[in-house]
Each structure stands twice: as structure tokens, then as C-alpha cells.
A and B are shown apart, each in its own frame.
Chain A
Amino acid sequence: MTAYIIRRMFTGIIMLIVMSMVTFLLFFSSPVNPEDFACGKNCSPALKAQTKKALGYDEPVTTQWVKFAKGVFVGRDFPDDPALKESAPETIAECPAPCLGYSRTTNSTVTEQIKEAWPISLSLAITAFFMWMIGGIVFGVIAALRRGSIIDRGIVGASLVFYAFPTFFIGLFLYKFLAIKWEIVKIPEYVPISEGGVSVWFQGLLLPAFTLSLVYMAGYVRMTRAFVLESMGEDYLRTAKSKGLAPRKVLYKHSMRAALTPLVTMAGLDLAGLMGGAIITEQVFNYPGLGKLAVTATRNFDLPLVVGIVLVLAAVVIVANLVVDLLYAVIDPRVRVG
């Protein structure tokens, strides 16, 4: 088991390195010049060259990557200008390890930016996760138990319809009517628990989390329903039933456990993906998590921020993959790690 974990972590690290190289190459060799964005208007070629140098884009991509990689471990200074550090040290932004770069549009280190946005995306992801898991499993089980009835059809149909409308349509629709017109829920806004307490925090993210959970719920309703039905047909359950166990007991003791395994896999990975920010939902609700940060960064051609976010998100997914694999092994002993 330990050997397996070490091996997986090792491949994970290799993957991150490869990924950082690919991302660097893609963005830093692009035909769009970030200095155009930074230089402003009325920018003479001399001024543009100066800006490019200040941004550090005058060096070859490989050098930039090496500097980046070094920064992750030992930190860096921005701008990397010894003369300036000598004459005006207060203007140098220090970026301590793990340094993922310095974002010029937000004027702070990428690490700092991600650290700030992360709890916001995490709040959203976890709240949405609970909403769709509870909703998905409850409705899925009800649908399975009432198989073929109006209730079953209603649940499955409704969840599919919600899934089928594009997220931004549902999000804007709910925003407009639930929050603004009818004032049923608060206008979405992130308030950290430390500032407003749990209740304010929750009210502020209710709508985006609900929107997000609607997107995912369909899959879970249908999956839960299918697995419950399937496992109810399996031999050991038939045995249990013929032994005279109450149907409810059969459901909880046996079906649920069997259905749980693949659900955990899917849930874990969905949650991991979401932790990196729900781009559309955050955009619609102006929710300042990683997704919104990512959109802003790409629109402003803030390359260090873009690269930083890509790498952090990738790392999350890689770790989540590992965790899910391990969980899988714990829940279902038939799966052997290896």
C-alpha cells in the first residue's frame, strides 16, 4: 500500500512538471503580447520594449520556465531587476516559496491570489456537493422504490430537464427571479464565516450552490436509481429477501452499500473538479472564487496567474484521483490496490 502511494505520488509530480512545461509553452509562445495590454495606449515601441522587459517576457521561454520552477522552491523577486533592488528595494515584490509567479493585474503573488480565492470556491463546491448528494441519493432511492410510477417518472424527468438547460441559463434565471424579483434568497455574495458567521456565509452562497447542484443532481439521481435497482436484483439480495428480511432493511443494509462504491468514485472526482472553481456559475453570480479569477486572468492576459491556476487545479485533480482510488479500495475490498 505504501509503495503504491509513493509510486502514485511520484507519477503525480512528473505529471505536474510536464504540465507546467506544456502550459508555459502554450501561453508564453503565443502570438498575443501581454506587454500590449500592460503598456496602455500611446505606447511607443521603445516603451513597449521596456514594458516587455519589466514583465520578464524578453527572455526565451525555457529560461522563463527554469526561473518559474526555481521560484516554486526558493521564491523569487518581482521584478527581477538587481539595479532596482539596489536603489529602491521597497518597490520589489517578494514572492516567497512556493512562488507561482506575480500577477500584475491584481498586484500580488499568484500564490496569494489563489489562497484568497480558494476558500470561496471550496465553500461553493462543498455546499453544492452536499446539496446534490443528498438530493441525488434521496430522489434516486425514492424513484427506485416507486419504479415506474408517476413519482419515478417525475423525478427522473425533472432532473434530466434541469441538466439539459445550459448552466448559465438556469443560473441567470434563478438569479433574476429568486434573488432580485421575488427576493426569496439573498443576492449572492461571499462573506467568510469568520466575518458574518455560518448563517450569512450560507445565505450568500445558497443560490450559486443550488444552481451548481442542479447541474450535477441529474447524474446522481439516475445513477443511484440504477444501482439500487440493479443491486436489488442481485443474488445475495434475493437471498436476503427470501430469508425474510424487511424490504427496507434490505435496502439500507445491502443495496445502499453496493450502490455506494461507484457513487463515491464519481462524487470524489466531481468534487475535485469543482474545487478548482465553477467557471460558469461563478461568472454568472460574480462569485469571486478560482473560476472567476481564471476568467478575469485570461481576459487580461495575466499569464502568470493563468499558468498558476492551471497548475494548482491540475494538482488538486491528481491528488483527488489518488484519494478516490484509495477510498475505493477501502469501501470495496474486492478492488485490490496495485
Chain B
Amino acid sequence: MTVPVTELESHVTAPPGEEPDDSGVQKVAGRSPTQLALARFRKDKLSMAAFCVVALYVATALVAPILVKTGVLDPLTLHQDLLDVNMGGIPKGSFGGISADHWLGVEPGTGRDVLSRLVYGITWSLFIALSATFVAMGIGTVLGIISGFSGGFTDSVIGRAIDLTLSFPSTMMLLALSGVAVAFMTGTLQVPAGDVANALYVILVLGFFGWPGIARIVRGQVLSIREREFVDAARLLGASRGRLYFKEILPNLWAPLLVYFTLMMPAFISAEAALSYLQVGVKPPTPTLGNILTDSINYSVADFVFFFTPAFLIMIIVVSFNLLGDGLRDALDPKTHR
């Protein structure tokens, strides 16, 4: 299933109550041998295609900073001579000013190279989504393991914390706190102003509102794992709590976590875009897919190429990640049907 946790329209999606959720992701059993799963995954053409697209995006994201450093891509230099000053600064020539130098044309108003901005924007968007996912998974996994393993009072405190976090209207908090929190980070905490502070804010807040779903799933898994023999054995042998949590339990969680990861990434990529529309997050001239789209959305008539490409790129990566997530889940748990 898609993970609308941060779809920014729905604030709550994880099922309620103390009972672990029994849908989708949950079904993955750590037992199934990796080899088998891999083989199943490879046979699934759609998932393989999705995997390739995701890999391509990731490669782009990794290479882009180098290309920018070496000057192959130039997302910042203005080329206003390529613009029609009498027409609101839209590019001269057809298809958004596509030329040998600018394969996807130039940006209206500034003449910056659209291809460079999009490619570099992928780096920023993926970086933000990835970091936020790690924050959410980090908090969620640790608290989930602790909750599931210790039970009792700790468990119910964490359970309440989950409910509390889920009850906050996250989009509104994100919006309302942005100015305040960024001012606090740059002022009191001495975080460098600008991109760093803005990106950090989005990462932390998305991460913070994303962890409860993971914590619930992990807790559910832990509840079933902790009764198993190998855990008992480790406990009898006098393993410490920390060792039990992270050496014995964690390795058994990778399958559901991996699936959740691939579903959370696209949700956060969309979230970054939506937040840009609400003026939260990394601001131009530093490009992100979200802040490019926020500008390009107005050019549906004046400059269709510029209008369409950012939205298309976001759509493709979100679809691919979702398909990849589905594929992985199927491969890891052959019982589900697609």
C-alpha cells in the first residue's frame, strides 16, 4: 500500500490501538531466505524496471554535485540574453528555449539552465527525503524495539507518545513552526542560515512526524520475535539488553524496514514538493524538485516544457519507488498478491 503518512493531506494513517497492524507490510516474515526473495524479485519485470529507474535517479543524485563542481552542469548562472524581456522574461525560441547548450531550455526570468537545475534538484530532493526517512526510521526502530521488548510501563509510555505524535496536525505544525524554528536554529543553535537550516528543518520535522508508523510495525515484529528460541538462548547466556535489542532482534527486522523505506521515500519526496508550495523548505537559487515545480506550475501556457518536466520527474520517481516497494514486499512475502 502507499504510505500517505506525509501526503500532507492525511495526517494519520497508521492503524490505531495497541494491536499491531495486520495489513501489508506487517506480513513480511524475516524467516524467508534472502536468496529466494531475490530470485522472485528478479523475475518481476515491473519491479525490476522500477528498480532501474530508482537506481538511475540515485546515480543522478550522486553524480550531480560533481558535475556542478566541475562546471558541466551550471544551475546558477543567468542567461538573461536568452529571454524575451517584453514578454515577461520567457525564453526566446520554441519549447522553452531548447538549444544545444540548454537541452531542456532555460528558466523564465533568469535564463538559468533548466536541465542543470532539475538534475541538481534531484540531489537535493532525494537528500532531504532520504535524511528524513533515516530520522523517522531511526527513531521508529529504536523506540519500537524498546517498546516491544520491554512491555509494561515503558511500552505504554511509548504507545502514548505514538498517539500524541499522530494526533498533531502535522502539516499545520510544519507550516506554523517553520519561521520560528528556523530562526531558533540559526539564532540559538548557530546552524548556518540558508539552505542548511531550511533543509534541516524539513528533515527533522518530516522525520519526527514519520516515526510512529515504523515504531508500531517494529513493535509488532518484536512481539513475535522475542518469544522465539534464539532470543531466549541469548538471554539465558546473559546477553545485555543492548545486545539483545540490536544484535539479536534488529537483523530480523530488515525485511519490513526495507519495504517501509521504499514506501516512505516517495511520500517524503512529494512532501518536499508540497512544502515548497507552502513556502517551507530550501529556497532558490538552490534548486529542489519542489521549488522548481512551485515556479513552473504557472507556465502551463507560456512555457510548456518548463511547466511539465519538473512535475513529470516527481511523478516518475514517486511511482517507481512505490512499485519497487510493492515488488520487494511481494518478493519477501509471496503470500500477498498483486
Contact = CB atoms under 8 A, between A and B. Distances in A.
A278 B9 contact: yes
B278 A269 contact: no
A166 B1 contact: no
A306 B16 contact: no
B164 A18 contact: yes
A281 B16 CA distance: 26
Contact of B11 (A32, A147, A230, A273): A273
A203 B23 CA distance: 36
Interface residues of A, number: 65
B9 A219 contact: no
A294 interface: yes
B1 to A, nearest CB: 5
A317 B166 contact: yes
Contacts of B262: none
A270 B10 contact: yes
A324 B19 CA distance: 13
Given A30-B180, A32-B179, A219-B1, A168 B7 contact: no
A161 B15 CA distance: 25
Interface string B318-334: 11001100000000000
B315 interface: yes
Contacts of B7: 167, 215
A21 to B, nearest CB: 11
A36 B273 CA distance: 30
A318 B163 CA distance: 8
B172 interface: yes
Contacts of B177: 26-27
A281 B169 contact: no
B311 to A, nearest CB: 5
Contacts of A272: 12
Contacts of A270: 4, 10, 12-13
Nearest to B186: A31
B314 A229 contact: no
B160 interface: yes
Contacts of A161: 315, 319
B43 interface: no
A269 B274 contact: no
Contact of B168 (A216, A291, A310, A320): A310
Interface string A31-57: 110000000000000000000000000
A309 B2 CA distance: 28
Contact of A166 (B10, B168, B314, B319): B314
B164 A15 contact: yes
Say whether chain A's binding surface is mostly helix, strand, loop, or mixed. Answer: helix
B88 interface: no
Interface in A196-216: 212, 215-216
A164 B169 contact: no
A328 B183 contact: no
B32 interface: no
B9 A212 contact: yes
A318 B169 CA distance: 11
B314 A164 contact: yes
Interface string B15-27: 1110101111000
A289 interface: no
A11 B318 contact: no
B154 interface: no
6 contacts: A169-B311, A223-B1, A230-B336, A273-B13, A317-B166, A321-B12
Given A164-B318, A168-B273, 14 more contacts: A27-B177, A31-B187, A164-B270, A164-B314, A166-B273, A212-B9, A269-B16, A273-B10, A280-B9, A295-B278, A298-B172, A317-B11, A317-B166, A317-B169
Interface of A: 11, 15, 18-19, 26-27, 30-32, 147, 160-161, 163-169, 172-173, 176, 212, 215-216, 218-219, 222-223, 226, 229-230, 233, 262, 265-266, 269-270, 272-274, 276, 278-281, 283, 291, 294-295, 297-298, 306, 309-310, 313-314, 317-318, 320-321, 324-325, 328, 335
